[in-house]
Structures are given as C-alpha cells and as structure tokens.
Amino acid sequence: MTIATPRPQLLANLIEGLAQGSIRVIDLTTPLTPETPALRLPAPLSNVIDLSLEEVAAYDPRGPMWAHNNIHVGEHFGTHVDAPIHWISGREGRDISELPPEKLVGPAVVIDASAEAAANPDFLLEVRHIKEWEAQYGKLPKGAWLLYRTGWDAFGDDEALFLNADETGPHTPGVSAECARWLAEETDISGFGVETVGIDAGAGFGLVPPFPMHHYLLGNDKYGVTSLKNLHQLPATGAFIVVTPLPIVGGTASPARVLAFVEEPPA
Ligand code: MN
C-alpha cells in the first residue's frame, strides 16, 4: 500500500521565485554595533546596556582554531521585539519565548507618513489615516504586521538626530492613544513595526494613557518591533515578513533579525 505524497507546490513556487530573483529578500534590520541608537530614559529611571562584544578567543592560545565572543546587550536594543510582559498592561501575558511562531510570520503592510513626520516630528498616526489607507488598499490583513514608515531610519547613524531630544524630551513620531487602542482592540494585526527607537512617540509619556502603543498593543497580546530600516523598499501591501526574536525564557524582548519577502512585478 502506498500513500500519495502531497507535493509542496506552494513552497516550491517560493523556492523557484527566490532562485529566479522574482522574489527578493529585504533586510529590515539595523546592524548591531556599540553605537546603535538606543532609548535613553532620564534619571532616576534605569536603562538597559548597549551592545558590547567581549573577546573570548581569536585564533590564539585561548582558541587556536577559532574565534568567539560573549555578547553583552540589553533586551531592548537595536531592532528588537517587545513581548507582552514588557508592559504592565501585559504582565500576565507572554514572555518573548512564548510568542507563537505563526504570529511571527505573515503579511506585511506599510503605511507611509514620512512626509507628515518630516513636517512635524511629533506627528501622531490617527485612526482616520489608517481608514484612508484601507480605502485605498483594503482592510488590514488578518495576522499582518503593520509597518509605520516615517523616514526615521535616515537618522540611524546619529543617535542625537534619531532621538531628537531637547529640554522638553524626545520628539519622534508615534501613534495617538485612540489609534493605539483601535489597532490593538479592533484589528486582527499580529504586530506593529516602527523605524524609531520605540513603538510609541518620543513624547508618548504625555499621552493618556502614557505610552499608549505599549499599553494597548502589549496588553492585547500583540507585539511591537522597532528600529526597522528599508521600509521604503516595500510595497504598501503584498510583502511577507519574518520576525525572529530569540526565545529567551522570561525575556521581555529580544533583538531580532527582520526579513521581508517582496515579489517583483512581471517585466
Ligand atoms: Mn522595547
């Protein structure tokens, strides 16, 4: 007796598209260096550490045929994924090791507010902006990662520009409290991605509730990813995303590599 083996045609198409170059892989990740811009909370609040590499061996008597390092880094550094337990509203929720794998892949859609953010660094995305996007591109897909393009990745090599802080605090674009609540409670997205240092506006402390994206998104078992690059290379709809935080048991976040698959239009 034989059992017919189903042919994995969908994956075969993907593999063929990658081989032919009709599907491209775009890296959305900020490289990790000691100079990668990071959140700077004011005293008396505590900050996680920046990245440093500690050399353990380098083809020398400590390891004659190999090199290896210890990595020292905070959970929330560079391109990283926030888990529900990062925020007090999600404290009974999942840690970073518990995010379901099927929610870490899915459709990626891009909303572009780079013009608005260039004109006003405190720009806040509102529900009406997403409704306008939906009128053009259709409803936010189930399981999507909504990626918020603001042009902020252009400042990724300069922490002062990236954080854009003055005596009143940081000024970087974000999401209004009502839009944060709506995204978390009334859409089927899996996650939300930004080019800035965090998923909330720089001035998010002054919103009600403070840091509303953290409050609502993480409190509703949805996830955030920060410091993305290259969103300008993605179409508004049709890309596929892979978000890969390390499964740190008990972790509130993890640096992650984030990749997008984009299909080139037929020539
Ligand atoms: Mn974080």
State the average pLDDT over residues 171-177: 98
pLDDT recorded at residue 267: 66
Domains of the chain listed by start with CATH number: 20-31+75-263 (3.50.30.50)
- Expressed in angstroms and rounded, the spacing between residue 250 Cα and the centre of ligand 1 is 15
Q: Which 3 state secondary structure label does DSSP give 218?
A: helix
Model confidence over 190-238: pLDDT tens digits? 999 999 999 999 999 999 999 999 999 999 999 999 999 999 999 999 9
H-state helical runs in 45-126: 114-119
- pTM score, two decimals? 0.95
pLDDT recorded at residue 265: 77
State the average pLDDT over residues 165-191: 97
Residue positions annotated with a catalytic role: 86
Instruction: Give residues whose Cβ lies within 5 Å of ion ligand 1.
Output: 76, 82, 253
- Expressed in angstroms and rounded, the spacing between residue 178 Cα and the centre of ligand 1 is 21
Model confidence over 79-138: pLDDT tens digits? 999 999 999 999 999 999 999 999 999 999 999 999 999 999 999 999 999 999 999 999
- Expressed in angstroms and rounded, the spacing between residue 59 Cα and the centre of ligand 1 is 36
pLDDT recorded at residue 108: 98
Using CA atoms, how far residue 151 sits from 68, 142, 194, 209, 227, in Å, is 36, 26, 10, 26, 11
